Amino acid sequence: MLRPETLIDDLRFPEGPRWHDGRLWFSDMHSQQVLAVDLDGKAETIVEVPQDPSGLGWLPDGRLLVVSMQDRKLMRLDPQGLVEVADLSAHASFYCNDMVVDAVGRAYVGNFGWDLHGGAPPVEANLVLVEPDGAVRVVADKLRFPNGSVITPDGRTLIVGETFGPCLTAFDIAGDGSLSGRREWARMEGAVPDGICLDAEGGIWVASPVSGAVLRLVEGGRVRPGEDAHPDGPDRARGGADPGRRPSLSAGPGSFSPPDRTIRSGCVRRGRRVPPGRPGSRP
């Protein structure tokens, strides 16, 4: 089993990595920073988010969108700094988390549902759509901790990982961004989905923090094991393939225990090369 190569380490809790303009962008949640790192490991701090950053995306004009977790807001990075796009607290029953942004700038934002670390009973969560003008509406409900999400290249399907499903759930996307046709895309046995990313063959790479592995799935189920990302298990795998066709992933302290913000055991790594071929084909 191949070990990924490390791009950057000494991080606290890296989340939501996405490739954009030749660099991997990610949130170091417990450092309250969004960073970008290039393929040589040179990192830049993009912005600080005092209420903990998570999911990232971009508007068509190139401006960054970032989820602010604890105050349950979607923020936009303008030239003068962060500005609020929308307050999601009326629809998010606990901290906001991951996000995917479509080609016209609509953001789909998930949330925990309940106080995971505080011992509260589980609560199913909404998936919220935020329009570029800040309008907010619920487009899916009764999700079991909606986490990493992707939109297929044709813009017609959204797939979200339900961490406590544990499964990947797909929806059809209407012209106005509404979701319908809910269905199970893949069920996971002995693993749970956290961060996810699409590859060029239509497969989805899934990080499972409880099993300590990255898995590649196609619709209907698991295809093959991936790489261990961290001695304590991977936390995230997101962002699509880089120009070398390798999935990116980040790793850090466990997600299911109360956070220790002083620990710097997190890192960002690149996985093994994804071979061309049919979905589910082996190298």
pLDDT of amino acid 119: 80
Written as one string, the DSSP assignment of the chain is -PPPEEEEEEES-EEEEEEETTEEEEEEGGGTEEEEE-TT--EEEEEE-TT-EEEEEE-TTS-EEEEETTTTEEEEEETTEEEEEEE-TTT-SS-EEEEEE-TTS-EEEEE-SS-GGGTPPP--EEEEEE-TTS-EEEEEEEESSEEEEEE-TTS-EEEEEETTTTEEEEEEEPTTS-EEEEEEEEE-SS----SEEE-TTS-EEEEETTTTEEEEEETTEEEEE----STT-EEE--S-B-TT--BEEEE-S-SSS---TT---EEEEE-PPPPPSSTT---
Task: Say yes or no to pLDDT of 251 above 70.
Answer: no
Q: How confident is the model over 54-75, as a mean pLDDT?
A: 97
As a whole number of angstroms, the longest Cα–Cα distance in the chain is 48
pLDDT of amino acid 227: 47
Task: Say yes or no to pLDDT of 64 above 90.
Answer: yes
Buried b (16+ CB within 10 A) or exposed e, 29-48: bbbbbbbbbeeeeebeebbe
pLDDT of amino acid 278: 32
pLDDT of amino acid 3: 59
User: Does the global pTM surpass 0.85?
Assistant: yes
pLDDT of amino acid 231: 42
Domain ranges of the chain: 5-270
CATH superfamily of 5-270: TolB, C-terminal domain (2.120.10.30)
Calpha distance 208→214 (Å, rounded)? 6
For the ranges 18-32, 51-65, 75-89, the lowest mean pLDDT is seen at: 18-32
Pairing relationship of beta strands 96-101 and 81-87 according to DSSP bridges: unpaired
What is the percentage of the chain residues whose pLDDT exceeds 90? 55
Task: Say yes or no to pLDDT of 63 above 80.
Answer: yes
